[in-house]
C-alpha cells in the first residue's frame, strides 16, 4: 500500500539505521562510518558500511544497499508494507489505516489459515484417523510435552479431510491453493496435499506457522514432503527449529539433516538444533543463523549423501565469519557389521550426555577436510603421498593465519611421512598460485571499467556509460547540495538512463514541495533494486567544492553525448538513404 509520505518520513526519522542494524550486525566505527561483516553474503573482512549521517547502509563486497526499510525487508524477508509495520511496531507508531492493502490482508489470511491447519493436524494426532502417526511418534519415543511444544500432528489418509475442515471455517479454494495445503487435479478439483503423514509445522522466528513438512507413514515417496514456495514460505530462507534454537545460550547452532533429529535433540535438552528444509544449506540460511550464533556444528548423517552435504555446507560456511566444526557420528557395530546411524538414533542408543561429549570433541572444518583427504589417499605409495600433500597444501594455503598454517602443516607432514619444512614449502607454492590467480582476476576486472560502472540489476543497465556517469554526478550533487537545483536546467528526458531521469524528476518535485532530497528521504519512494542503486551512487566520492562548476561540466557531458548520439543517428540515416538511391539507380 501507499503509506503517507509524512508517516514514512517520521518512521525513518525514529528508526536510526545504526540502532536497527546493530540488532543484526556487530558494528565498529571507522572514520565517519560504522563497519561490520555483511549479513547478506559470507565474508571474513568487514565491508558492510553504515552511515549515520546519511541513514544508509552499503556493502562494498556484494553491493547491497539502501535505507532502514530496505534493510529490514532484506534481513527479515519481508515485503515493503510488512517492513514498515515491523519498524512502526519497534518505534511505537500506529500504522495508518490499511483498508486498501490487499497484500497485507492476503498475508494475514494465509497466516490464520496455517494456524488453523496446524490446530487441525494436532487434533488429528489424538483422533482415530491419526492412530498411525501417533504410533510412529511413540516409536520415536516422543513425549506428549515435546509433541505439544513442536505442535506435531497427523494428516489423515484421506483426500479431503483438511479441505472440509478449513472450508467449514470459511477458507476458499483459492486460499487453500495459495497456502500450498492442497493440490489441483487435471479436472480442476482440489485434494489434500498431505495425506497419511506425521506433520511438522514450520514456525518462523516471529512464532508464525508458515509451512508444513510431512513424514511418510506408509513408505510412500517422498519420505519428507514440504510445503511449496508461497508468499509466506521460502525453503532457501527457512530453518526447521529456528524458533526454538534462536533462544539457545550455547553460542552455537547444531545443523542436522531431519526434522525428527531436531525434535529428538531438543527433547534431550540440546536446544540449538535446526535442519534445512529439503535443500542443501543456502547463503540465506547462514544469514539467518548468524543472528543467533557465531559457531556452526555440522552433524549430517554419516552416509555418502550426508558426507556430500557436509562438504557443500563447509564450502559455504568456511569463508564466513562462522567458526565451523563437524560432528562425526560413529558407526554402530551390529553382528560385526558397521551400520550408519543419525543423530536421533545416537541419542536413543547412547543418551544426551554422550552426544554432548561428541559436540565438545567435534573437529573444526580444517581437521575434518584433512581427515577426508587422508581417508581417500593411498599413503602406502609415493604417488598417493604426493597427491595427498598437494591437496592438503592447497587446503592449508587458504588459511589466513600463519599460526594455523604452521600447525596444520605439521599434522599433514606427519600423516604423509615427510618433514614439516617440505610441507611448508608445498603450502607456500600453493599460496603463490592462489595469489597469482587472484591478481589475474583483479587485472581482468580492472580492464572492464565500463562493466564496473553498470548497475547490478540488468533491467537498469546504461546504454551510454559516459553520459550515465555524468547523470549520476548530477543526482549526487543535487542530493548533496539542494541549492544547486535552481541552477540546473536539465530536463528528465535528457537523461539516457530512465532510472536516473526518474530520480532526477523526483528530486525536482520534492524540492518544489520544500521536502528533503537526502538519499534516505528518496529511497522509500523507490523499488528495492532502485534503492540499492541510488545507495551505490551516493557512496561514490563527490566534492562539494566549486559545485556549480562541476554541475555545469556534468550537464555539458550529458548534452554533448546526446548531440553525438543524434549526429550518429543522422549519419546512419543519410548512409541508408544513399544506399537506397544507389540500389534504385542500379536497378
Domain extents for the chain?
Answer: 5-91, 102-233, 239-369, 376-446, 456-571
- How much is the pLDDT for 336? 84
**Ramachandran angles phi, psi of 213, nearest 5°:** -125, 135
Cis peptide upstream of residue 222 (ω within 30 degrees of 0): yes
Q: For the stretch 539-578, what's the b/e string if a residue is b when 16 or more beta carbons lie within 10 angstroms of its beta carbon?
A: beebeeeebeebbeebbebbeebbeeeeeeeeeeeeeeee
Q: Could you tell me the three cell numbers for 539?
A: 557512496
pLDDT under 50 in the chain at which residues?
A: 569
- How much is the pLDDT for 290? 83
Domain spanning 102-233: which CATH class is it, in words?
alpha beta
CA–CA separation, 253 and 292 (whole Å): 8
CA atoms within 13 A on the CB side of 566: 7
Using CA atoms of 30, 31, 32, 38 in order, give the dihedral in degrees to the nearest 10.
Answer: -20
- How much is the pLDDT for 78? 82
The CATH architecture to which 5-91 belongs is Alpha-Beta Complex (3.90)
pLDDT tens-digit map of 443-496: 665 555 555 677 877 788 888 888 999 999 999 999 988 889 988 989 888 999
* Residue whose C-alpha is closest to residue 319's, from 293, 296, 291, 292: 296
CATH number for the segment(s) 376-446:
1.20.50
Q: If you search the block for the grid coordinates 490487499, which residue do you land on?
A: 102
Longest dimension (CA), the chain: 97
- How much is the pLDDT for 536? 87
- How much is the pLDDT for 499? 92
The CATH architecture to which 239-369 belongs is 3-Layer(aba) Sandwich (3.40)
* Beta strands, E only, 12-103: 28-30, 33-36, 48-51, 56-59, 65-66
What does the DSSP 8-state code read for residue 128? G
CATH number for the segment(s) 456-571:
1.10.860.10
* Residue whose C-alpha is closest to residue 554's, from 460, 474, 449: 474
CA–CA separation, 251 and 297 (whole Å): 11
Q: Do residues 454 and 480 touch, judged by C-beta distance below 8 A? A: no
Amino acid at each position: 500500500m501507499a503509506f503517507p509520505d509524512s508517516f514514512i518520513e517520521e518512521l525513518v526519522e525514529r528508526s536510526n539505521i545504526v540502532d536497527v542494524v546493530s540488532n543484526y550486525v556487530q558494528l565498529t566505527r571507522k572514520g565517519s562510518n560504522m563497519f561490520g561483516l555483511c549479513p547478506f553474503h559470507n565474508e571474513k573482512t568487514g565491508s558492510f558500511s553504515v552511515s549515520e549521517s546519511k541513514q544508509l547502509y552499503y556493502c562494498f563486497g556484494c553491493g547491497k544497499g539502501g535505507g532502514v526499510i530496505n534493510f529490514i525487508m532484506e534481513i527479515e524477508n519481508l515485503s515493503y508494507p510488512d517492513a514498515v509495520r515491523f519498524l512502526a511496531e519497534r518505534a511505537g507508531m500506529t500504522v495508518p489505516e490499511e483498508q486498501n492493502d490487499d497484500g497485507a490482508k492476503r498475508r494475514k489470511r494465509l497466516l490464520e489459515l496455517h494456524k488453523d491447519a496446524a490446530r487441525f493436524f494436532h487434533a488429528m494426532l489424538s483422533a482415530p484417523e491419526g492412530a498411525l502417526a501417533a504410533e510412529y511418534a511413540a516409536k520415536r519415543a516422543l513425549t506428549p510435552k515435546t509433541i505439544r511444544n513442536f505442535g506435531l500432528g497427523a494428516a489423515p489418509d484421506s483426500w479431503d479431510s483438511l479441505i472440509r475442515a478449513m472450508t467449514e471455517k470459511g477458507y476458499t479454494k483459492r486460499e487453500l491453493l495459495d497456502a500450498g495445503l492442497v493440490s489441483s487435479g487435471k479436472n480442476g478439483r482440489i485434494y489434500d496435499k498431505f495425506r497419511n503423514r506425521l506433520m511438522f509445522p514450520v514456525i518462523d522466528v516471529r512464532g508464525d506457522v508458515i509451512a508444513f513438512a510431512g513424514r511418510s507413514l506408509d513408505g510412500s515417496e517422498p519420505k519428507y514432503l514440504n510445503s511449496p514456495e508461497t508468499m509466506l514460505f521460502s525453503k532457501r530462507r527457512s530453518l526447521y527449529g529456528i524458533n526454538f534454537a534462536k533462544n539457545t545460550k550455547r553460542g552455537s547452532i547444531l545443523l542436522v539433516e531431519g526434522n525428527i533429529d531436531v525434535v529428538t535433540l531438543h527433547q534431550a535438552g540440546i536446544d540449538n538444533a535446526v535442519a534445512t528444509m529439503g535443500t542443501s544449506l543456502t547463503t540465506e540460511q547462514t544469514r539467518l543463523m548468524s543472528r543467533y550464533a557465531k559457531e556452526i556444528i555440522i552433524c549430517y548423517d554419516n552416509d555418502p549423501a550426508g558426507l556430500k552435504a557436509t562438504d557443500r555446507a563447509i564450502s559455504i560456511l568456511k569463508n564466513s565469519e562462522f567458526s565451523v566444526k563437524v560432528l562425526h557420528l560413529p558407526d554402530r557395530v551390529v553382528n560385526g557389521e558397521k551400520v550408519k546411524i543419525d543423530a536421533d538414533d545416537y541419542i536413543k542408543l547412547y543418551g544426551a550426555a554422550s552426544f554432548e561429549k561428541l559436540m565438545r570433541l567435534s573437529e573444526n572444518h580444517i581437521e575434518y577436510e584433512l581427515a577426508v583427504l587422508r581417508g581417500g589417499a593411498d599413503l602406502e605409495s609415493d604417488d598417493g603421498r604426493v597427491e595427498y600433500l598437494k591437496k592438503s597444501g592447497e587446503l592449508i594455503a587458504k588459511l589466513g593465519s600463519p599460526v594455523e598454517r604452521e600447525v596444520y602443516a605439521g599434522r599433514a607432514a606427519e600423516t604423509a611421512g615427510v618433514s614439516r619444512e617440505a610441507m611448508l614449502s608445498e603450502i607456500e607454492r600453493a599460496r603463490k598460485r592462489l595469489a597469482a590467480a587472484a591478481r589475474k582476476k583483479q587485472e581482468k576486472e580492472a580492464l572492464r571499467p565500463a562493466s564496473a560502472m553498470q548497475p547490478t540489476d540488468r533491467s537498469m543497465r546504461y546504454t551510454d556509460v559516459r553520459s550515465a556517469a555524468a547523470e549520476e554526478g548530477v543526482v549526487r550533487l543535487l542530493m548533496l547540495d539542494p541549492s544547486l537545483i535552481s541552477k540546473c536546467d536539465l530536463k528528465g528526458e535528457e537523461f539516457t538512463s530512465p532510472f536516473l531521469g526518474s530520480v532526477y524528476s523526483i528530486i525536482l518535485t520534492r524540492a518544489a514541495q520544500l521536502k528533503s532530497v537526502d538519499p534516505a528521504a528518496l529511497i522509500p519512494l523507490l523499488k528495492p533494486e532502485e534503492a540499492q542503486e541510488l545507495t551505490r551512487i551516493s557512496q561514490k566520492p563527490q566534492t562539494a567544492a566549486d559545485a556549480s562548476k562541476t554541475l555545469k561540466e556534468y550537464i555539458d557531458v550529458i548534452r554533448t553525448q546526446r548531440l553525438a548520439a543524434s549526429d550518429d543517428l543522422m549519419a546512419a540515416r543519410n548512409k541508408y538513404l544513399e544506399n537506397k538511391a544507389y540500389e534504385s539507380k542500379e536497378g
